[in-house]
Structure 1
């Protein structure tokens, strides 16, 4: 056997090993599953709280400003009315006492009547009242997908809702959204 024949056999043997290995690898690639079966899909959500200011116009009643703080008008009118009534009672000096007593009592009564009227005199205005309220909303963040691949179950989270199957690449489930179908 000469050297060139030995070299040829060595190169040929090496080529057979390389071709055999690539054949096994190719066979494994061809026999790997292309899809995983989707067993369950559960939507994953989170609650979002957003503060917001809510304002309302509210009717507010307040005591009206008093123009006669000392209630002089009520005292004078009550005193005159009381004095007139008192002068109608009695004779002589008794008439004078009754007039003075009527004026004093009438003055006091007129003062109290004006006081009650002033307390009940109200002014209604509209004021804007604001408060912070929290609005809650639900936001979908993805889907927990349970799949079956080669008889084993697994779970992944996706941003899209998958169909009945999910593609598999290099033995792993693909979790990227599928490309939208081209429109013709």
Structure 2
């Protein structure tokens, strides 16, 4: 056998090995599943806490402003009433003493009555009171997807809700969201 024939056989043999290997690889690529069946989909939610200010109007009572700080009106009216009552008692000097004592006692009583009335005199106003409250809500963060591929079950997390199948590439489930389709 000559050299060129040997080279031809070697090149031919190598070509057969390459073609055979690519045929097996091509056959495997053609026979690999393109989709995995979705068995179950479970939403994964997260609790989100959002602080918010809540305000409301509240009725507030305060002591009314006092117009007669020294309670002169109560003292005078009480003194006059006490003096009149005291003058109705007794005769002569006793009447004068009773009038003065009645005026003094009435003045004191009138002063105290006015004091009690001023303490109970209130003004009601409305005030806005605010406080921070935390509102809770649920936020969807993804899906736990159980799938079946080649008779075996597996689980992946996706950011999108899958349909009945998930795409498979190179024997692995693809978890990237599908590209949006243009609507006509």
Q: TM-score range by the shorter chain?
A: over 0.9
The TM-score, its normalising length taken from structure 1, stands at 0.96
Cα distance in 2 between the residues matched to 1:8 and 1:182: 55
Q: Cα offset for 1:119?
A: 0.8
SS at match of 2:135: strand
Q: After superposing the two structures, state which structure 1 stretch, 66-75 or 127-136, moved more.
A: 66-75
Cα distance in 2 between the residues matched to 1:49 and 1:99: 77
Cα distance in 2 between the residues matched to 1:94 and 1:75: 23
Match of 1:74 in 2: 74
What is the aligned length? 184
Q: Which 4+ residue blocks in structure 1 deviate beyond 3 angstroms?
A: none
Deviation by residue 1:133-179 (Cα, 9 ceiling, x = unmatched): 10111100000001111111111111111111111010011111122
Listed as ranges, the matches of 1:1-184 within 5 Å are: 1-184=1-184
Q: Cα offset for 1:66?
A: 1.7
Deviation by residue 1:74-122 (Cα, 9 ceiling, x = unmatched): 1111011110111122211111121012111111110111011101111
Q: Cα offset for 1:63?
A: 0.4
Q: After superposing the two structures, state which structure 1 stretch, 16-25 or 125-134, moved more.
A: 125-134
Q: Cα offset for 1:67?
A: 2.4
Unaligned runs of 5+ in 2: none
Q: After superposing the two structures, state which structure 1 stretch, 135-144 or 171-180, moved more.
A: 171-180
Q: CA RMSD in A?
A: 1.1
Q: Cα offset for 1:9?
A: 0.4
SS at match of 1:134: strand
Cα distance in 2 between the residues matched to 1:180 and 1:134: 36
SS at match of 1:182: coil
Cα distance in 2 between the residues matched to 1:131 and 1:23: 74
